[in-house]
A and B are shown apart, each in its own frame.
Chain A
Amino acid sequence: MADLNELKYTYSLRLGDDAWILSHRLSEWCSNGPFLEEDLALTNLALDLIGRAQGFYKYAAELEGKGKTEDDLAYRRNERQYFNHLLVEMPNGNFADTIARQLYVSVFEYYFFNELKNSSDETFAALAAKTLKEVKYHMAHAVDWTIRLGDGTEESHWKMQRALDSLWMYTGELFEMDEVDNELLQQCIAVDVIALKAKWQEHIERVLKQATLKQAEDAYMQTGSRKGIHTEHLGHMLGDMQYLQRAYPDAKW
């Protein structure tokens, strides 16, 4: 068995990566939102996620004990060293694509952090309790828009349906458990995500019904991110995100 600190390091890093990569995606909407208030909303979500990533990266760095900072973890790793879910690295696409991604992710996070707040690890529990409050707002935002677009015009309806269908294959990964999850679950530190799947699915179905949309049909589920295998999109994103720190290491304002 791997050392407990090593397992917790990996767990914290994954949670940091999920928040960090989604945050960057949402920040790409800055000045591109459909209208001013929505531009602010998407970047507000991004800000919450940066804060969350900072919390989990700080803890990961502390567990690793090599004197790294949260910035080292955010900017000094290569594609294969990121462990975020594939879903969060998917491109923004059109507004419906972004909302579909937000819906799948935020409903998952709502149930996930609701469990992680009972973790026997104090830091995970504290960060989860804090995060849960913010995620409620993220979920409300995604649900409102899903209903508005689904039950909107013919065009908004089909765009929303197409977005939900095309992202569906990346949702299977949210409910995978590997050796890190299982070892930590035994110690009551990690969340049993398999147990969350039914609740998540029911919740999504409820929203889609209200939005006059259909649940995507079960299909092949893409996987790999927990081993560092990503879609082609992550590398491009990192090239953009890490440019400054790579070109001018330790650059400060």
Chain B
Amino acid sequence: MVVADKTKEDILKLLSQIADPEIPVVTIQEIGMLRDVNISDDGIEVIITPTYTGCPAMGIIEADIKALLHEHGYDATVKLVYNPAWTTDWMTDEAKEKMRKYGIAPPTHSSCGDIAAAEAEIACPQCGSKNTEVVSRFGATACKALYKCNSCKEPFEYFKCH
């Protein structure tokens, strides 16, 4: 196995193309799940963190990382860490914009203490109106809530701040 000719940055760059299995318009790097890469004589170790403890996408992400690196001739191990705890603050502005265009209202506030306050002014990703309301704090995935827009009447998902 050839590892020596690659730097940590090279590997991170390679991994930055892996899409989030649930929201394929953003990558695991943009969403903040890809934390670090360690290169040693034993091989490559990729450090990831879950968005939610029960996130069912973690298994797929691990498999995607291993498969991509294997394709490039590397064997890798993937380590799951909980510290520091993932937060939507790590999400880049570009990622939030991509998410909005995809139809998901991105998290607007930084990691929130007050859930109700953070939910107050969510703009509809379709029409931009802030006249929206929560249908349920829990949606199709752990990270999203269900909303509806009172202006254009469209239902939409909101990526909860965390």
Contact = CB atoms under 8 A, between A and B. Distances in A.
A40 B139 contact: yes
A12 interface: no
Interface in B134-154: 135-140, 142, 146
B59 to A, nearest CB: 11
B82 A127 contact: yes
A82 B145 CA distance: 34
Among B81, B82, B140, the one with the most A-chain Cβ atoms within 10 Å of its Cβ is B82
A21 to B, nearest CB: 15
A140 B115 contact: yes
Contacts of A130: 50, 53, 82-83, 85-86
A207 B52 CA distance: 27
Nearest to A19: B53
Interface of B: 50, 52-56, 81-87, 111, 115-116, 135-140, 142, 146, 160, 162
B142 A48 contact: yes
Contacts of B139: 40, 44
Interface in A120-145: 122-123, 125-127, 129-131, 133-134, 136-137, 140-141
Contact of A49 (B54, B116, B135): B54
A147 interface: no
A141 B137 CA distance: 8
Task: Please list the 7 inter-chain residue pairs (A to B) with the smallest Cβ-Cβ separation, ordered nearest first.
Answer: A51-B54, A51-B53, A126-B83, A37-B136, A44-B138, A41-B138, A47-B54
Contacts of A51: 50, 52-55
Given A40-B136, A40-B139, A136-B115, A48 B54 contact: yes
* Chain A interface, >50% SS class: helix
Contacts of A40: 136, 138-140, 146
A133 B137 contact: no
Interface in A8-42: 37-38, 40-41
Interface string A65-97: 000000000000000000000000000000000
A149 interface: no
Contacts of A125: 83
Contacts of B82: 55, 123, 126-127, 129-130
Nearest to A50: B54
A129 B115 contact: no
Contact of B138 (A45, A49, A55): A45
Contact of B53 (A55, A123, A136): A55
Contacts of A141: 137-138
B85 A133 contact: yes
A52 B83 contact: no
27 contacts: A40-B136, A40-B139, A41-B136, A41-B138, A47-B52, A48-B52, A49-B54, A50-B54, A51-B50, A52-B53, A52-B54, A54-B53, A54-B54, A55-B53, A123-B82, A125-B83, A126-B82, A126-B85, A129-B83, A129-B84, A129-B85, A130-B82, A130-B85, A130-B86, A137-B138, A140-B116, A140-B137
A122 B81 CA distance: 11
Nearest to B139: A40
B26 to A, nearest CB: 20
Contacts of B160: 137
Among A44, A48, A52, A136, the one with the most B-chain Cβ atoms within 10 Å of its Cβ is A44
